[in-house]
Structure 1
Amino acid sequence: MLLLWSQVAAAATFSSVELRLHDPGDGRPMQTVVLFHGYGATPEGILGLYQGYPGPLRVVAVRGPAAVGDGFAWYDAPWTKPELFPGDGEAERRERAEELATFLEELGSSSGLPVVVGFSQGGMTAFLLAARHPELVAGAIPLGGNLPASLLPPTLAPVVPVRALHGEADPVIPVATARDTVAAFVAHGGDARIETFAGVEHAVSPPMRDRLWTLTAEMLARGP
């Protein structure tokens, strides 16, 4: 296991921390997961989602641009309920999607396209990239996130798998809003599904993490 700091100069510069699991050490590019943390959290914190993952994997955890206490955020506007998103909030999300698209294009050193994964606000970001820049990702796994349907293009192309995981008892981002997001993806021609976990609040439970690992391996195995 190797932990590295990196920084990519994109439309807006994002710092990231990188974890290499079971690196064969032969210099060849590794399959990659890009992680997006939640509101007020850090990239180092979300790296734990893949501690113990059984196969070779490059994990890049990106830091949100807005400082919030001791952590960071992806957006300034409220995010918990789609009906609360003002027009300016949507503009901010569209702008962030373009900045992160540049980040993904410049990330480099990856075998195939990355899988994007995020929790809470980071889950919204994973949904957002799958909707607005599916050509840059192998798939998306949003955890405890949602996205207003107004941020989806009229038709999703190319279609990439989106597999949302959500706690049924989530009091922060209600599971109903995630179901609405998945339904909107399907209505726009997407390949989206949601799996829910009984009794889980706004967190990633061990069974959710196990499912995350399985989905990650499946998406990376699909190839370009």
Structure 2
Amino acid sequence: MTRLGVVVPSSNTTVEPEFRAVLPDDCTVHAARVPLEDVTADELEKMADHAERAASLLADASVDGVAYACTTGSLIHGSGFDTRLESRLSEAAGVPATATARSVVRALAALEVDRVAVATPYTATLDRMEREFLTDNGIEVVSIDGRGLVENTAIGALDPADAEDHGRAVLSATPDADALFISCTNYRSIPAMASLEAAFDLPVVSSNAATIWDLCTRVGVRPDLDLRLAETG
């Protein structure tokens, strides 16, 4: 039995079901929650202060790996914060650790993506921070489109069809992108990704898909992701 630990915002309702939907039967998911109601820079910064305590609590469950499952929460202090966060979590839990922002960079690198179109539920402020983070990591953001949502439960209430429609609109307006990235671990999108890949004949990465792929790679588990990303492993 493999146990995966996830540190999730307290208002996130998507990480656990999306993880469980694609993991094998002999792999379980265990969550520790850290406080966040609204997806703002101020709340994301405060949430990160609780990361190590959450990881240490997951260690009590003898997890085999830990993920900090929040995209903007793991890039809030710019490039380099994500890898420092991974080191902090790994030390606190005593197991391999990933942070979603870094998992996304690894996923795009594995897919050999240079130019990405991005769909987010965020405000313009967080979109700007995400663009800067990706650019600093060598990924050209050819477009980024946010829905302007702040309340995290409102993001989690969106249907995967909303993410698919959003992704289609972004890709239709950005024909020169190498891939689509659907950002936010609370934006339900994994069920929509295969159809987007088929329709546009290019890779689609989501925050949760990247986090699952990265964490599972580290602990030797193969998730059931029917995506181009899964073929890179």
Q: TM-score range by the shorter chain?
A: 0.3 to 0.5
Question: Scaled by the length of structure 2, what TM-score is found?
Answer: 0.45
More strand, by proportion: 1
Question: Scaled by the length of structure 1, what TM-score is found?
Answer: 0.46
Kindly indicate whether structure 1 or structure 2 has the higher relative contact order, using CA contacts under 8 Å at least 6 residues apart. Answer: 2
More helix, by proportion: 2
